[in-house]
A and B are shown apart, each in its own frame.
Chain A
């Protein structure tokens, strides 16, 4: 897999961010802060961890990845394009009339496992995939990326209860824990802390990681299951808007569309980033 990712996952993450910035600057909507928050996670997954094959996107042996925080789909589309699932030029159609690259993840796009966008759906579907794999003894793994705000949804905990009870150790949840949700900080809306203890008490093996440290992310994601017989939960401590100084840690950039001078300034920062 490494050979297909020029200059490694850090360069891939930078390209994901630049693609996503351009994609979100042209649309009628944007979740750029949420994309930047998980761009490093996506780069490590698609650059090093996931066993996926662009020439055979539906291969039964593939690892399944569910982007449950479907609003970060610009990052996923960019990662898939960079991995060769479809031409990079297609990214320019994001949010545009007639495109299948809509503003939330769509399974009509090659390489996207399931459509998401309404929060709290992805983990249940991932549980179904993981349970099915166990029934047949298939060796592939299932990953689901959730946002922290998404953990407000009761359905997340229904699924967490199921996975813990059934010891789905072929399933890994990654929480993009940037502590800012749609319109306010998590701590002001519904405090999730201690998030690790919550997942642990549902029967999961929990680890934490710096969600922007590629080496640490790769090491943890390769180490799953963290405990035999338990589903794995990786709480990735992240910064919303990571990579563009004026977007970092601001609720504003959950929805704000980067245009004009803000777009230019953001692009400059990303292009100059080493």
Chain B
């Protein structure tokens, strides 16, 4: 996802001199092409995220479109007050980009995971929160955010779902994508973990459970229309995110559907349950450990749909 983002931004920057890319001293080797081609549009801000964010506000108030780039929760939680006061309150045209959403930097440890960012960022007024699920969504989101005024957060993952876009398909901020349709339940996912949702849908299909899969690439504003339709038209909803279940996408969906009087027949959140992942391992390993992989999703769905059914080998081990 990172490479797609950088490539897309580099392509756009050629005709948009007002774009500035600021990095918190990360992106070794990745930003070279951008830096070589647009040295005046690039700043390495050093390991100083508060100043990067406040300074981005100053640049944006003077007419620039600023992308701040860093890793994990460095460009968000480390400088949260600058985001709140300097970016959101001033509606500054700054796009915060993190690489390593969720547990993408699995083995390097919890300091480098971003597992509370969606909940925290979506609570900020004027903030748009984007978490693409595949490479096409990354490229599209990057393009759209350049022309979307005000602050935004772009959460990039290492993993990504396989391509699913249709020829001529248009990406719209705040509009969910139906990756596949189904009648029995809806799997709702944000970020690269969309790949686990798609695999879980395949497995459930084999068990006779037909799934709709929604990619919620925009967590805020939330596509309540697509979500309430899914709640109405399918038999239940499972929200999947590589993030704490507290206040993230699952929380956002629950809040909105309840308030709209459109709760799904059953509702389940798949995510981290109030823990810091301290096990060492790859992103996929950690998903398995924390019950976020396709098999865990299938198990949770079947247990929920058929609580008294004996454990049957309905689902082949992955």
A residues engaging B (CB < 8 A)?
A: 107, 113-118, 120-121, 123-133, 135, 154-155, 158-159, 161-162
Please pick, from B50, B62, B81, the residue contacting A128 in the complex, using a CB distance under 8 A: B62
On whether the beta carbons of A128 and B54 are closer than 8 Å, the reply is yes
Please pick, from B56, B63, B85, the residue contacting A118 in the complex, using a CB distance under 8 A: B85
Q: Which of A107, A131, A132, A162 has the most CB of B within 10 A?
A: A132
Q: In the assembled complex, which residues on chain B have CB atoms less than 8 Å from the CB atom of A118?
A: 81, 85
On whether the beta carbons of A121 and B54 are closer than 8 Å, the reply is yes
Main secondary structure on B side of the interface with A: helix
On whether the beta carbons of B85 and A128 are closer than 8 Å, the reply is no
Q: In the assembled complex, which residues on chain A have CB atoms less than 8 Å from the CB atom of B48?
A: 158, 161-162
B171 CB-CB contact with A under 8 Å: no
On whether the beta carbons of B82 and A121 are closer than 8 Å, the reply is yes
On whether the beta carbons of B46 and A162 are closer than 8 Å, the reply is yes
Instruction: Tell me the bound Cα distance from A134 to B86 in angstroms.
Output: 21
Which chain B residue shows the least CB distance to A142? B58
Instruction: Tell me the bound Cα distance from A132 to B93 in angstroms.
Output: 14
Which chain A residue shows the least CB distance to B48? A158
On whether the beta carbons of B89 and A115 are closer than 8 Å, the reply is yes
Q: Which of B40, B59, B90 has the most CB of A within 10 A?
A: B59
Instruction: Tell me the bound Cα distance from A154 to B50 in angstroms.
Output: 9
Expressed in whole angstroms, the minimum distance between the Cβ of A269 and any Cβ of chain B is 36
Give 8 A-B contacts (CB < 8 Å), ordered by A residue. Answer: A124-B86, A125-B57, A127-B58, A129-B58, A131-B55, A158-B50, A159-B51, A162-B45
Please pick, from B45, B46, B50, B61, the residue contacting A114 in the complex, using a CB distance under 8 A: B61
Q: In the assembled complex, which residues on chain B have CB atoms less than 8 Å from the CB atom of A116?
A: 85
B53 CB-CB contact with A under 8 Å: yes
On whether the beta carbons of A155 and B50 are closer than 8 Å, the reply is yes
Expressed in whole angstroms, the minimum distance between the Cβ of B66 and any Cβ of chain A is 8
On whether the beta carbons of A125 and B63 are closer than 8 Å, the reply is no
Q: In the assembled complex, which residues on chain B have CB atoms less than 8 Å from the CB atom of A135?
A: 40
Instruction: Tell me the bound Cα distance from A228 to B54 in angstroms.
Output: 25
Residues of B within 8 A of A (CB-CB), count: 25
B113 CB-CB contact with A under 8 Å: no
Expressed in whole angstroms, the minimum distance between the Cβ of A223 and any Cβ of chain B is 24
Given contacts A125-B61, A128-B62, A131-B58, 14 further A-B contacts (CB under 8 A): A107-B89, A107-B90, A114-B57, A114-B86, A121-B81, A125-B86, A126-B58, A128-B55, A128-B59, A131-B43, A132-B59, A132-B64, A158-B48, A158-B50
Instruction: Tell me the bound Cα distance from A117 to B40 in angstroms.
Output: 32
Instruction: Tell me the bound Cα distance from A125 to B54 in angstroms.
Output: 5
On whether the beta carbons of A120 and B50 are closer than 8 Å, the reply is yes
Which chain A residue shows the least CB distance to B59? A128
Q: Which of A115, A124, A131 has the most CB of B within 10 A?
A: A124
Instruction: Tell me the bound Cα distance from A130 to B90 in angstroms.
Output: 18
Which chain A residue shows the least CB distance to B58? A128
On whether the beta carbons of A161 and B46 are closer than 8 Å, the reply is yes
Expressed in whole angstroms, the minimum distance between the Cβ of A136 and any Cβ of chain B is 8
Instruction: Tell me the bound Cα distance from A118 to B48 in angstroms.
Output: 18
Instruction: Tell me the bound Cα distance from A224 to B43 in angstroms.
Output: 25
Q: In the assembled complex, which residues on chain B have CB atoms less than 8 Å from the CB atom of A132?
A: 58-59, 62-64
Instruction: Tell me the bound Cα distance from A124 to B43 in angstroms.
Output: 14
Instruction: Tell me the bound Cα distance from A137 to B51 in angstroms.
Output: 23
Instruction: Tell me the bound Cα distance from A5 to B89 in angstroms.
Output: 33
Expressed in whole angstroms, the minimum distance between the Cβ of B90 and any Cβ of chain A is 6
Q: In the assembled complex, which residues on chain A have CB atoms less than 8 Å from the CB atom of B64?
A: 132
Which chain A residue shows the least CB distance to B40? A135
Q: Which of A125, A131, A133 has the most CB of B within 10 A?
A: A125
Instruction: Tell me the bound Cα distance from A159 to B132 in angstroms.
Output: 32
Given contact pairs A124-B54, A159-B54, A131 touches B59 in the complex (Cβ within 8 A): yes
Chain B 43-81 interface residues, beta-carbon cutoff 8 Å to A:
43, 45-46, 48, 50-51, 53-64, 81
Which chain A residue shows the least CB distance to B94? A128
Expressed in whole angstroms, the minimum distance between the Cβ of B89 and any Cβ of chain A is 6
Instruction: Tell me the bound Cα distance from A162 to B50 in angstroms.
Output: 12
Instruction: Tell me the bound Cα distance from A161 to B81 in angstroms.
Output: 20
Q: In the assembled complex, which residues on chain B have CB atoms less than 8 Å from the CB atom of A154?
A: 50
Instruction: Tell me the bound Cα distance from A130 to B51 in angstroms.
Output: 14
Which chain B residue shows the least CB distance to A124? B54
Which chain A residue shows the least CB distance to B60? A128
On whether the beta carbons of A121 and B85 are closer than 8 Å, the reply is yes
